Structure 1
Amino acid sequence: MPGIVVEPKQQKPETPEDKLLRRLCKVLSDYLDREHIDDIVRAYHFGAEAHAGQFRKSGEAYICHPVTVAITLAEMRMDTRGIMAAILHDVIEDTPVSKKQLGAKFSPEVAELVDGVTKLTKLDNKSRAEAQAENVRKMFLAMAKDLRVIMVKLADRLHNMQTLGAMPPAAKRRIAKETLEIYAPIANRLGMNKIRHQLESLGFKALYPRRHEIINQAVKKARGNRKEIIDTIQGSIQNRLIQADMACTVAGREKNVASIYQKMLHKKIPFSDVFDVYAFRIYCNEVDDCYRALGCVHNLYKPIPGRFKDYIALPKANGYQSLHTVLIGPYGVPIEIQIRTHVMHRMSESGIAAHWLYKSENESNETAQARANEWLRDLLEIQKSAGDSMEFIDNLKVDLFPQEVFVFTPQGGIIKLPRGATVVDFAFAVHTDIGNSCVSARIDKKLVPLQTQLENGMTVEVITASWARPNPLWLNYVATAKARSSIRTYLKHFKQQEAINLGRRLLEKELQSLDLQLDAIDEHRIQQVLSVLKMQSLDELLEDIGLGNKMPLLVAKRIGQEDVQAAVKLDDHESRNETPLIIKGTEGMVVTLAKCCRPIPGDPIIGFFNPGKGIVVHHHECRNSNDVRKKQTSWLDVEWSEEATGDFPAEIRIEMLNQRGTLATIASIISSMESNIENVKVVDQDERVSVDLITLTVKDRVHLANIIRKLKKLNIVLKLTRVKA
């Protein structure tokens, strides 16, 4: 009709979340079928409805965050259920939807993945650090079931870091520190270098904004100044490869700001020295081409000795493969070259994600999958024995910063260990039982002590003994989390059992003086005493007695009296039981021989309780024992068992002529008497006389007396006495 204007129907403007969904579907369409994309869209609508009315600190609708996480994973070609879990990863934590509802709506697999990423809630009476440690521990347990859990978590952390601007400064620093300490190293350990570099850069920028800005400006300035040199080098390498008829691609590689800062920090060098290393990558089609390309660049520029690494033959723990070499280029500048195949490059960027990304190229990605699973198995073993979440995190951090050395078993197997690892680390890497019973080792067929640090290419054979047990001193030099965790666990249980055994002996000794036997006492009476002492079990009470935290005489009297509620006080003049405790000196960590007087079998001895540690045994003539005797409630009579065997340290003070060969003569005599010198300390020395303290091992008092008698016959010995205090 004339005069009537029909306005075109206005389209509803596209929201940010709609744009993100469209972008996600576009990426998914490259590798997924239509029906799978429809499932993902269904998950998006469910998530959008669940998060309706929720906004992030930046002001955008909350659903934008999980969709961005899903896009990151889609670019890695994550499978359908992994993408659905990414979209729904905050639904259980931040909305009323339960895991059961999620499983019914989609699938149990999706619900398990989402639950693995979800943080623990209701962590009562725990600090932020403990809560975070517990979350990481839970995440690793979920990872062991399905590696997609950590991939969703890393993509989630990446987007959180990208949108960190809206957070308060304190939260920024906390999140950035956690990212650099935990998540970036995990991405590195799983070979996901692309995500790792982004996390490191964003974490560094948030934690050290000023330093980031200064280095970034310096990089931009240097890039302009050195573009000509970079083009010259790149052109030379490319031409040499063409002349050799090799179809390889050369690309420049720029260090990120975080790695420049780390290099400056660790090597204590200025920025100019770091940026003098020009970095290039050469991409080849086949592995053989990599080695041929290496020959070409070594002919073009001279290599720097000791700077070549072959990670193709010996891949890193995270599956990374490449040839690394450093050359002296034109103008005398160092050039760093990495040579790898296209498949290796994709593996280095995506790491464990390549398991889903390149399923047709089976060999390399299955290796990465196997490596990741092996690492997770080790972590599961550690977390089972870790005392608490904070200890697990400490062990994890040790494991996340490896610089590998490769050593061989006698059968030719390769064992990877972090730089600084010792024979003990190797033993535990082979098997926990071998670690627990190792006594020494042969490296390249030569006997070496357990603290020997391993180097690349060594062949290590561990020597074990059925009687051997882990030593607390090992904790001072082990480098792997598995070894440290295994040693701590063993010592914890060993000390506990030893304390229980000693506590039982001490209590039975005191009960005998009251004409009682522990096994014959009524269970109800024992429970009454435990209730009064606020103990859960008899073993707990015995452990407390063995560690010296409770006096066995007082506990025995409490058990022996009719009214266990009555207070028991031991009078200073009350007679003590005269029956001494018999010791062998090999009881373990709950009976220790004092270092001030070094008692040995045959000596008159006295013991006293050191709370938390057990019984410390002194020589009767020790000055320190006089102080102990005054404390009537803390000492007890002890005697050596006739069956006491082993090597015990004793100390002698020797005045001898200060001339060449004197100490060698004395050492020879001691050795001939079947003793061993543990330590020699020069107390005083002049031109004529030397006064030394020698610690040596003996079987008993008679053995020591024979050694002293033999030494006194030497003309070079002026005076010799045993040190007892």
Structure 2
Amino acid sequence: MIYKGFFLLMHYSKKELLWHYNSLVYLFRSVKKTKHTLYMKTFEIFSRYLQKNSEAHSIVLFDSLMEQYEKEGFLAENFKGINNKDLLEGMLHILMKSMNTQSASFIAAALSIQLPNGKNNDEITAVYGEQMGRIMEGMEKIRSLNLSKIREQADMYRQLVLSVARDTRSVLVLMAENLFLLQHYQSLEKLEDKERVLNSAISVFIPIAHRLGFYKVKSLMEDLVLSIQEPEIYFGIKDKLQESENERNKIINKFIAPIIMEMNAHGLQYQIKSRLKSINSIYTKMKKQEIGFEKVYDLWAVRLILDSEPKEEKQTCWHAFSIVTNLYEPSLSRIRDWITVPKTSGYESLHTTVKSGDGRWAEVQIRTTRMDEEAENGMAAHWRYKGGKENKGIDFWLSEIRNAIGRDDLQPAQNIKPDKFANEVFVFTPGGDLKKLKFGATILDFAYAIHSDVGNKCTNAKVNGKIVPIKQSLRNGDQVEIITSKNQKPSADWIKWVVSTRTKTKIRKALDEQKNLEIQRGKEILERKFKNWKIDFTQELIDNLVAKMELKEHYDLFLKVSLEKIDPLDLKRIAEGKELLKETEKISENLLQDISDEDLESSHKDILIIDKIDNINFKLAKCCNPIQGDKIFGFVTVTKGITIHRNKCPNAQEMKKRYPYRIIPTRWRQNATKVNFRTTIKVLGIDTIGLANKITQIISNELKVNIVSMNFDSEKGLFEGKVGLLVHDSQHLEVLLEHLKAIKGIQQVFRLDA
């Protein structure tokens, strides 16, 4: 293949590139013989660019890519109405001329034409290397973003774009694509393409271009946007500029003539340029000052570019400043010294606005050749750069782009990955709103970011359509739907599962509120009990009870009563001056909690016979979650009536030993109507791809069993899962367990007590 020789041009120094330039010319002539117009133009672009920029590190033209284009041709139009060949050539021109990028960006642009949706990224990585794979993956993620509310949340969308891009060139190639499509906006046939191009330009690419120092690109995009949104205004100003061009040139020449004479007289080496303000800039000034076009006097500016030794730059600039201000009256309020103290972006220049002899104001920019090159090429784009490396985030990545885009080797470039510095994550609500969270944020962080009530009731979530637990970490671009339950309550463990300080504060507040409610409830229980016992519930009695129970504060007493860790009957004995017979009952907090689902509770009314009597109110204990078919017994509680436990309940032995007088014989009603019972199973096995999905498929799809909660974890190749289920009876559960045991990789499946 004639393209094979291009591999010889990889990774050469400046001398080697010049040495091998003849090989490139020979190859170009060979390509010309093939009469493929696209290849001729593309190779000609590379040829001219290499010839002009022979210090470039390398030029990479992959034989496989060219062979693919030759064999398959271009795909159909990626954007209806825009020819793909024209799109590629336009993008290459912008990347080369306006952004000063080199071959890696060219290849990414070419691949993006042939693979617009990022397909076969693994193949791209295998053929073109990890770096090219990163560029293409970043472009795919940016293209797939939901932009429905980009105008309302422009700043966060801009940060999201920069966060999901895995390589700097992903953003630059798409910026070039966006600029070309703006230039050919009227050719786009699909309304959705037009809206996406325009909204992306306004909210994302114009601000990024400005912050990266691509000022020409930024001004061009702004003018194009104005021509699309306000065509009458745009073409009105454009026509007036053209009409006044000759007069304006005379004014400019008259203005700079004295400056040229004085600069020459002082022996300074310099260039002098004049530039016309962009149409958008003129229109912005007209709106801001509420004036017409004729009242905008500073339509142009003059730039003095001085040749100077590095040590003498400041002195030379101030020398030129004194020459200009001796000739023309300066406006003291409009002097900007960004030489002594450069902008935070790194921009260096000395600006002054002076009044000419005919009373017109004109801006003069004074800078050295080095300052001008850095400003023009964007090397001064270190926007908002402050603090140490750990605090740099996306801002630091932006500051590195202009140093990195000139690199055209395909070796890993670790320092230009934005995710290395990302300290934020951006996720979508189901309605398309964007939420900014701290990096590493979990489902709980997101839920509390929506509202404290949502966080307090959060049980799990759907992320990109899949159910995940509340401690699942989020990634950029995830779409998250929070699932809540009115019976859910925050737990102290939640604090360990969040990263935001604000979220932790909200959880602690909710826990404190829960605790206060329990304290108030415990106090009310004791007041009611002691009133029934005809014992005065005084502060003196409370202090005595606290002391006897060896507690610190009175609220500790009320809390333990509410949580049923202290039996009020024991407190009655203390109040009557009697000794406690036994250690107070201490059963776990979950032992006597109600079933959380009210519908489940109401469906259980006629399923038991308790102490040979029908229709007695009861609760199913959460400590063992009995289901129909289990051997069970009833237990009379202090405040919650009768609770039903399994004979194998972990608390059964203690309850029967300490409180035999509270145990009531209980059995399931024969031929009772089938109802649902809550239970939990644990699954252990070897972690393999798709294991969790297989488990849920069998439970939900094959056996039609409802899942109410799930939590899957994997570590060091081992898999562990807990699944909350609704089953009819113990036989129903046993069938389910047998099906799960048959899954390859599952080692153990068993029922949990709680």
* Matches of 2:248 and 2:596, distance apart in 1: 78
C-alpha displacement at 1:184, in angstroms? 0.9
More contact order relative to length (CA 8 Å, sep ≥ 6): 2
User: Which of these residues, 476, 487, 494, is aligned with residue 505 of structure 2?
Assistant: 494
Aligned twin of 2:516? 505
Of 170, 194, 204, the residue aligned with 1:149 is: 170
Residue 77 of structure 2 is matched in structure 1 by 55
| C-alpha distance after superposition, 1:473-507 (max 9, x if no partner) | xxxxxxxxxxxxxxx96545423431232123213
* 1:86 paired residue number: 109
In the other structure, the counterpart of 1:347 is 374
Check 1:302–1:293 CA distance in 2 against 1; reply closer, same or farther (3 A cut).
Answer: same
Amino acid corresponding to residue 400 of structure 2 in structure 1: Q
Mapped partners of 1:162, 1:258: distance in 2: 15
Amino acid at match of 2:186: G
State the distance in 1 between where 2:138 and 2:516 align.
48
Alpha-carbon distance between aligned partners in 1 of 2:428 and 2:67, rounded to the nearest angstrom: 42
* Residue pair 2:117, 2:140 contacting (<8 A) in 1 also: no
Q: Cα offset for 1:246? A: 0.8
Task: Give the equivalent residue in structure 2 for 1:26.
Answer: 48
Q: Which amino acid aligns with 1:110?
A: M
Give CA deviations for 1:585-634 in whole Å, capped at 9, x if unaligned: xxxxxxxxxxxxxxxxxxxxxxxxxxxxxxxxxxxxxxxxxxxxxxxxxx
Residue 333 of structure 2 aligns to a residue whose secondary structure is coil
Give the corresponding residue for 1:381.
423
CA–CA distance in structure 2, aligned partners of residues 34 and 382 of structure 1:
35
Q: 1:213: Cα distance to partner?
A: 0.8
In the aligned structure 2, how far is the partner of 1:177 from the partner of 1:561? 56
Segment of structure 1 superposing worse, 85-94 or 152-161: 85-94
Structure 2 alignment gaps of length 5 or more: 1-31, 383-395, 404-414, 439-498, 526-560, 566-585, 601-618, 628-638, 640-754
Residue 32 of structure 1: how far off its partner (Å): 5.3
**Secondary structure of 2:366's partner?**
strand
Q: Which amino acid aligns with 2:112?
A: H
Per-residue displacement from partner, 1:344-400 (whole Å, max 9, x unpaired)? 222222214999xxxxxxxxx9995399999979993344799998556899xxxxx
- Other-structure match for 2:267: 245
Question: What amino acid sits opposite 1:499 in the alignment?
Answer: A
Who is 2:211 aligned against? Answer: 189
TM-score by length of 1: 0.51
Q: Residue 121 and residue 209 in structure 1: after superposition, are their counterparts in 2 closer, same or farther (change >3 A)?
A: closer
Change in 2 beyond 3 A, CA 1:529/1:305: farther
Instruction: Name the counterpart of 2:563.
Output: 517
* Pairing of 1:427-442 with structure 2 (within 5 A): none
Pair 1:328-2:355 in alignment: yes
Between the aligned partners of 1:527 and 1:216, the Cα distance in structure 2 is 76
Distance (whole Å) between structure 2 residues aligned to residue 214 and residue 115 of structure 1: 43
Question: Deviation of residue 86 (structure 1)?
Answer: 2.7
Kept in 2, the 8 Å contact 1:248–1:282? The answer is yes
Correspondence list, 1:174-323, <5 A: 175-286=197-308, 287-288=313-314, 289-323=316-350
Structure 1 counterpart of 2:28: none
Aligned CA-pair RMSD: 4.7
Would the aligned equivalents of 1:318 and 1:351 in 2 still touch at CA under 8 Å? Answer: no
What amino acid does structure 1 have at the position aligned with 2:120? Answer: S
In the alignment, the residues of structure 1 paired with residue 137 and residue 590 of structure 2 have an alpha-carbon distance, to the nearest angstrom, of: 46
Indicate the SS of the match to 2:91.
helix
Whether the 8 Å CA contact 1:51–1:62 is kept in 2: the answer is no
* Residue identity in the other structure for 2:140: T
Which residue of the partner structure matches residue 114 of structure 1?
136
Pick one of 179, 187, 205 that aligns with 1:158.
179
Report deviation, 1:531: 4.9
Secondary structure of the residue aligned to 1:331 is coil
Distance in 2, matches of 1:203 and 1:38, equals: 34
The residue type equivalent to 2:422 in the other structure is L
* Counterpart for residue 545 of structure 2: none
CA contact (8 A) 1:90 1:114 kept: no
SS at match of 1:199: helix
Q: Quote the residue 1:638 is aligned against.
A: none
Provide the rounded CA distance (Å) in 2 between the counterparts of 1:194 and 1:153. Answer: 17
Query: Does the residue aligned with 2:305 lie in a helix, a strand or coil?
Result: strand
Counterparts in 2 of 1:149 and 1:174: CA distance versus 1, 3 Å: closer
**1:276–1:334 Cα contact (<8 Å) kept:** yes
Q: Deviations over 1:305-347 (max 9, x none)?
A: 1101012232233332211110011201001111122222222
Residue type matched to 1:129 in 2? K
Q: SS at the partner of 1:242?
A: helix
Gaps of 5+ in 1: 1-9, 356-364, 396-487, 535-556, 566-575, 577-725
Q: 2:148 matched to which residue of 1?
A: 128
> Are the counterparts in 1 of residues 141 and 164 from structure 2 also a CA contact under 8 Å?
no
Deviation per residue, 1:227-267 (Å, 9 max, x gap): 21111112222222111111111111100111111111222
Superposed displacement of residue 112, structure 1? 0.5
* Of 344-353 and 104-113, the range deviating more from structure 2: 344-353
Distance 2:592 2:92 in 1: 61
Inter-partner Cα distance in structure 1 for 2:122 and 2:517: 55
Which one is further off, 289-298 or 378-387?
Answer: 378-387
SS of 2:362 mapped into structure 1: strand
AA at the equivalent of 1:88: L
**Equivalent in the alignment of 1:610:** none
Query: Residue 232 and residue 130 in structure 1: after superposition, are their counterparts in 2 closer, same or farther (change >3 A)?
Result: closer
Q: Name the larger-Rg structure.
A: 2
Show CA shifts across 1:20-58 (max 9, x none): 443244223433599943535654554676773312557
* TM-aligned CA deviation for residue 94 of structure 1: 3.2
| TM superposition shift of 1:79 | 3.9
In 2, distance between residues paired with 1:371 and 1:72? Answer: 15
SS in 2 for 1:312: coil
C-alpha displacement of 1:191: 1.2
Tell me the amino acid that sits aligned with residue 380 of structure 1.
A
Per-residue deviation, 1:88:
1.8
